[in-house]
Amino acid sequence: MSDETKKKVPWAEIKAAANEIADLLGETHAVPRAQIRHVVEACGIEFARGLYQETQQIEADGGLMLPDQSRRRTVGGVFFHLARKKLAPELVKKIFPGYKRKQKPKQQKASSAPVQTVVVEELPVFVWDERAGLVEMLAAEQGVVSSMKVTLIGRPGKIEARKDVIITTMLHTIQSPMLPKGVPMPPSDPMLYTVYISAKQWRKIEAAIADPADSLIVEGLCTYDPAIKGMAVFATNALSKSMEIKRRDGQKAASQSNPAPATEETEAPAAVSTPPPAVNPPLPKPKKSRIAESLPVVEPAPTVVPSIPGLPADVAQKLQELYASASLFRQKVATIQSKPAGQQFGLEMTQKLLKNVEDEIAALEKKYAE
């Protein structure tokens, strides 16, 4: 066993050696470079350098053809071919997912001694900028999602009504999320969600959502829509914060006013002189609403709606809602503009949404002020 296998090898040294070999082989893509790094990590620096030297000798002797004799293997292809021949089957499966060894007609003697595994000092730290290559390699053995549901909580934008469905948009910007240690911070770019709610569900919550202090709660399926280059949410359930609180309070009151009935055993006279059991058993705790527990405390932004004589009540309510939306967008614009110039992601989109709301306010005020 070499001295390398007897001591721990620093991760920085492994990474530097892997990058050197990848550069010598002319490999520039993330996946093969990652595979070279895994070979160095699993088998040692000297083993990987020995593979490279053997690769150079094969190239000097005329190279190595593919099994179908269609062309010569690339330099990197020769290196990986030698690695797959020398590595243990479990390592081949891990480093080269999808590769299958061809069964040989008869057993042959091993061409070299078993490869010793190097003990690495510690696992590498995840680097966010390297995620594309890592995910590309992991995609060779994808998992499967059996179910998925997303919950949006906030204020809807302008409502576009159709006979069977209503459409609205909601902008979300992640701000200082509380994540477990080690989980990378998600991008802070604003994400626009287009929400589709059935007309029947919307009629039940439309009056409640007219209150700017209330919040819309949408549960449904979420997917990327390439046509709008954004996320789309298809609602399976929609309600407002106030409606959810009333429903929860109603369930609690009902459980307290209607205790569980006594059983036949407790109503029958006791056969012995011992005290009878309690007639009324402890009340079951009301079932907690998962949605209500996740509701944030939202303080509505102060809005000043101009007084217009003779303004219809529904139009006044609409203006109040638009002013609240405009105030929210102005806050988001100010937050983005407070960041350095190179980090003001989503500023143009947020300003566009703010302008749309301001234009709608101006059109309504002009119509009813005349």
Question: Model confidence over 300-348: pLDDT tens digits?
Answer: 445 566 677 777 888 888 888 888 888 888 988 888 888 887 777 778 8
pLDDT band at 178 (very low <50, low <70, confident <90, very high): low
Residue-level pLDDT at 312: 82
The closest of 58, 59, 52, 60 to 25, measured between CA atoms, is 52
**Per-range mean pLDDT, top range of 116-120, 290-294, 366-370:** 366-370
Does the predicted model carry a pTM greater than 0.95? no
On average, the pLDDT of the chain sits at: 78
DSSP 259-315: PPPPPHHHHSPPSSSSPPPPSSPPPPPPPPPHHHHT----PPPP--PPP-TT--HHH
40 token code pair: 């160095």
Res. 276: pLDDT tops 80: no
Res. 114: pLDDT tops 50: yes
Euclidean distance between CA atoms 330 and 332, whole angstroms: 5
Phi, psi of 158 (to 5 degrees): -60, 140
Euclidean distance between CA atoms 212 and 229, whole angstroms: 29
Residue-level pLDDT at 124: 64
* Residues 286 and 255 sit within 8 Å (Cβ to Cβ): yes
Residue-level pLDDT at 316: 83
Res. 354: pLDDT tops 50: yes
What angle (nearest 5°) sits at the alpha carbon of residue 112, between those of residues 108 and 114?
Answer: 105
Residue-level pLDDT at 127: 74
Q: Comparing 45-59, 68-82, 274-288, which segment has the lowest mean pLDDT?
A: 274-288
* Strand 216-225 with 165-172, pairing: unpaired
Which stretch of DSSP H or E encloses residue 254?
A: helix 241-257
